[in-house]
Structure 1
Amino acid sequence: MTLARNPVIRGFAPDPSLVRVGDWYYVATSSFEWFPTIPLHRSRDLVHWEYAGHVRGAVPGDSLAGVPDSGGIWAPSLSWDGERFWVVYSVVRSVGTPYFDTDTYVSTATEIDGTWSAPRRIASHGFDPALFHEDGRLWLLNLQNDHRPGGRRFAGIVLRELDRRTLAPVGDTHLLLQHERLVEGPKVVRRDGWYYLVLAEGGTGFEHGVLVARSRALTGPYELDDRPLLTSRDDPALPLQKAGHAELVRTPDGDWVLSHLVARPLATPDGPRCPLGRETAVQALVWDAEGWPRMRHGGVHPAVEVDVPTRRQELEPREPADPLGWPWSTLRGYPDPSWADATTRPGWIRLTGRHGPESWWAHSLLARRITEHRAEAEVTVEADPGTFTQAAGLVLRYNTEAYLSLDLTWAEPEGEGQRGQQWRGGTGRRVLALVEREEFGTRQAAVVDVDTAGPLTLGVTVEDGEARFWYVRGGVRTPVGPPLDFTRLSDDYGSKLRFTGAMAGIHAMDLVDAAFTADFTGFRLTCW
């Protein structure tokens, strides 16, 4: 046995799809509007995980430009047919509408960190697809979406056979199950002559859970278990909330484990919020006398500490080969290779400003996942903004309607109002502007003069749900503005659907010329 402490993959790693190949376990997670697309992790013991690459090229054209917040790649499902890996996933282009405008794709690879095939579009009944391999046949499971007025947007789970070579549909579509509660995320495993249909239930928030149904035939009919396999919705005091979206996997020794998502809430006056997003957890399973899966520790709640049926095998730390690669992420496209051109300024990253932080199109941004509720980030930036349309700095970001940034920018001379005269940069001031964006608008929380030229170190400390920004002057941290509410950078703030997690990073913008550059070095993100 090996002791796992959940979540095992921490910070913005939702919708885990677990597969075992030999002695390795692999997990694929949702990436939404962020690149790299479909991050992949691997482990030998379900406890120690490392980044193992991603499904490069998952989005045709390598661009999600114009895709809204929390759109993009939802719930990839990873599988192995004995010869190669398969991944099936949906690209969701509309969020908060009845249609979703979903394209479902399949890609394959012989090695998890190898070259993935160009994505091929298949039947797109709805999001959360999965593949089931049996006796040389390939089956597609999917949520069925009914967009019509009065229709059920989660109208049941369907099954369709695909031709393994062409991926064209074969035969009829089978309705496996409908339920009065929302069900999605279907996965199928076979055990002792039964087909078990594992379902995410109740939405992906605090009402989330896992249901199991079974049938003697793959095409049904399916009988639902009379109790959930996993949920945390009945106990708001549990440290792991939102438990759901699960997958069952058998170990080499015949034991069973479960991967699922969870979230770690912070208490706020407005209720619990989870700025770290939804994360990946594992549990140990047993089977009861009637042949239903159960949590080995009993009950239906997720355990923080779990003895998983594996032998401890720690992984050697690996240095990132690409200065712009993981753990960096970018929005809606891959980073521009010129950002880390060693011939420009070795050891520095140079961002050329593009759109502002609320664009769905062209960002100059690099960010990393925040993995704990206590964190600190800092970076040294050198830039010479000449107008208020140019800025560069340190950002805590959730999406276009939730971010906090401390930016080196330009402002009018002291005492002069904002008159929109961006061409008068030579007569203005070099300042640090602290900006807070939330659902109902943007406010400038503080402006501090920093007239000295040359590099400037910026930082932020996150603790107790607050973000405190600072910069270094004379070797001393100098606070900028008041503490800001970090918990608004979460799934649980605001009125719109949100599915990602808080990130810390660097960005630059130039709204007029797209030519302003900013150099960054020494980025550090510490979470504890």
Structure 2
Amino acid sequence: MGGKHAKLEIPELNLAVTSPAESESIYDDFSAESLLAHWQTLRIPFTESMESLSERQGYLRLRGNDSLLSTFEQSTVATRWRHHDFIASTKLEFEPTNFQQSAGLCCYYNTSNWTYLAVEFDEERKRRCLRVMQVDKQAVSYHFYDNESIEIPDDVRSIWLSVHIEGLTYQYSYSFDGKTWQKLPLVLDAWRLSDDYIDGRGFFTGAFVGLHCADISGFGCHADFEEFSYEPTGG
């Protein structure tokens, strides 16, 4: 072995396999004592002041903090987009009491570029609803607000949210029973969550799909996420 010149043949190495290859699919029921390795938090570590895996066994509890626009303390856990085609989904319980509280599923690049399917509180109707907020180079757009907001029935406790990325576009969906899904009539551009699109600055963070809970009212709400899945759908 060794030497300065490349060899045409080398001896076979008998290397033991210490662990199986990581699956491309992800399923997390939040039963572990700590966050699994595929999760990342934003700028700050996972702490009990913002998130907990022990306060309600089998759930990831996110305490409401700053919004996704904030560069300070967010209650956000996310995992990278690993494929051009995949479905990510989650099941959560959330009872907001005012319009400054929200929780749900987001597709995120940085604080200036993201979308967010959120459970919120409609102040006029005095009930929960589903809405989508989009931030594109700091320009904010609101979808399914006012008369278009999607009302959540009073007897629904668990809400399922999902996002389907298909190449250059993606769409959010929701379900109130985990079986019948409704796709939102809003097609979003996946390429807007890319290094090339973000002003050419090349941050190299890539796109994430994540779970988030916000409460800028300061009343101290929380959301309980029961499960999360990530499933590649490409051929």
Matched residue type, 2:168: G
The structure 2 residue matched to 1:449, chosen from 135, 147, 151, is 151
Give the structure 1 partner of residue 166 of structure 2.
463
The superposition leaves residues 290-334 of structure 1 with CA deviations (integer Å, 9 ceiling, x where unpaired) of xxxxxxxxxxxxxxxxxxx97776542489965324111001111
- Residue 439 of structure 1 is matched in structure 2 by 137
Name the SS of the counterpart of 1:490 in structure 2: coil
Answering whether residue 194 of structure 2 is matched by residue 482 of structure 1, we say no
Assess, with a 3 A threshold, how the Cα gap between structure 1 residues 435 and 254 changes in structure 2: closer, same or farther.
Answer: farther
2:9 is aligned to none
Cα distance, 1:388 vs structure 2:
1.4
Structure 1 counterpart of 2:224:
519
Q: Hey, what does 1:430 align to over in structure 2?
A: 128
Residue 381 (structure 1) aligned with residue 92 (structure 2): yes
The CA deviation string for residues 320-366 of structure 1, in whole angstroms up to 9 with x for no partner, is 96532411100111111363342x21100111111110111101011
CA pair 255-502 structure 1, distance change in 2 beyond 3 A: farther
Could you tell me how far apart the structure 2 residues matched to 1:470 and 1:312 are? 46
Q: Deviations over 1:461-487 (max 9, x none)?
A: 111221110011342111123111111
> What SS does the aligned partner of 1:481 have?
coil
Q: Which amino acid aligns with 2:151?
A: D
The structural deviation recorded for 1:255 is 9.3
Determine if the alignment matches structure 1 residue 411 to structure 2 residue 122. Answer: yes
- Compared CA separation, residues 485 and 336, structure 1 to 2 (3 A): same
Distance 1:368 1:359 in 2: 19
Q: Please, which of 482, 486, 495 is the counterpart of residue 199 of structure 2?
A: 495
Query: Is the CA contact 2:120–2:130 (under 8 Å) kept in the aligned structure 1?
Result: yes
Q: Find the counterpart in structure 2 of residue 353 from structure 1.
A: 64
Structure-2 separation of matches of 1:436 and 1:314: 45
Q: Unaligned stretches of 5+ in structure 2?
A: 7-11, 23-27
Q: Percent identity?
A: 27
**Residue 377 to residue 311, structure 1, CA distance change in 2 (3 Å):** farther
Q: Note the aligned Cα RMSD (angstroms).
A: 2.8
Q: What is the CA–CA distance in structure 1 between the aligned matches of 2:231 and 2:15, rounded to whole Å?
A: 26
SS at match of 2:89: strand
User: CA–CA distance in 1 between the matches of 2:77 and 2:162?
Assistant: 16
Q: For 1:358 and 1:499, how far apart are their aligned partners in 2? A: 19
> Quick check: 1:382–1:520 contact (8 Å CA) kept in 2?
yes
Distance in 2, matches of 1:371 and 1:310, equals: 31
> C-alpha separation between the residues in 1 aligned to 2:57 and 2:184?
30
Alignment of 1:230-241 (within 5 A): none
Q: Aligned partners of 1:480, 1:311: CA distance in 2, in Å? A: 53
Q: Does 1:506 align with 2:211?
A: yes
Alpha-carbon offset, residue 376 of structure 1: 1.0
Structural mapping, 1:269-348, within 5 Å: 314-317=17-20, 322-337=33-48, 339-342=51-54, 344-348=55-59
**Structure 1 segments (4+ residues) deviating >4 Å:** 253-256, 309-315, 317-322
Rounded Cα–Cα distance in structure 2 between residues aligned with 1:393 and 1:387: 15
Listed as ranges, the matches of 1:94-243 within 5 Å are none
5+ long unaligned stretches in structure 1: 1-252, 257-285, 288-308, 415-427
One-letter amino acid matched to 2:169 = E
Equivalent residues in 2 for 1:60-99, closer than 5 Å: none
The whole-number CA distance in structure 2 between the counterparts of 1:483 and 1:311 is 51
Counterpart of 2:162 in structure 1: which amino acid? G
Separation of aligned partners in 1, 2:61 and 2:36: 15
CA contact (8 A) 1:504 1:525 kept: no
Q: Aligned AA for 1:323?
A: S
Higher relative contact order (CA 8 A, sep 6+): 2
Residues 403 and 489, structure 1, Cα contact 8 Å, conserved in 2? yes
* CA 440–354 in structure 1, closer or farther in 2 if over 3 Å, else same: closer
Q: State the distance in 1 between where 2:122 and 2:52 align.
A: 29
Q: Letter of the 2:226 partner, please give it.
A: T
User: 1 CA distance for matches of 2:208 and 2:142?
Assistant: 20
1: CA distance between counterparts of 2:130 and 2:93? 12
| Residue 402 (structure 1) aligns with | 113
* Distance change >3 Å, CA 254–CA 508, structure 1 → 2: farther
Shift of 1:394: 0.6
User: What is the CA deviation profile of residues 45-79 of structure 1, one whole-angstrom value per residue up to 9, with x for unaligned ones?
Assistant: xxxxxxxxxxxxxxxxxxxxxxxxxxxxxxxxxxx
Q: Which TM-score applies when normalising by structure 1?
A: 0.37
